[in-house]
Structure 1
Amino acid sequence: MLNGIKIKGRTNTWSELERREYKGKTIVLMENDRWGDETNWILIDLLTQREIANGYDYDVILNPDDYLR
């Protein structure tokens, strides 16, 4: 579980809400440790810990094909 990590280009630290396999990669839904659900969640690639997408709710981790191209 990822907790309190820095994401390039983002402020504060971020912690994992959920992860899953998607097209050969592990994607992780992250929440800002300071602002929690008052700000957008982001998706990162677990291997690189770089942001893939932002501005999503929990549905993105359940149905990534509906959101990611």
Structure 2
Amino acid sequence: MSEKQYLLDKTLERWKGKRVAVGIGSETSFSGILEDFDEEVILLKEVTDYAGNRAKELIVKIDDLNWITLL
């Protein structure tokens, strides 16, 4: 495991169960509770997008993330 991947895993493990915001592409952002993750994807639940639309769950490929913040 690379040092970069180790830092990501350690941080996401600490953020599990907490509300995060993620940026996908240049204009799409979502917030939700970080439910789980592996080396390829993250799973958010109770998701809201920037326009206020809601969804129960969202799976995002880690390679597609521009940023992720703890809210």
Q: TM-score range with shorter-chain normalisation?
A: 0.3 to 0.5
The structure with the greater share of residues assigned to strand is: 2
Which structure has the higher relative contact order (CA within 8 Å, separation 6+)? 2
If the length of structure 1 is used for normalisation, what is the TM-score? 0.34
Q: Which has the larger radius of gyration?
A: 2
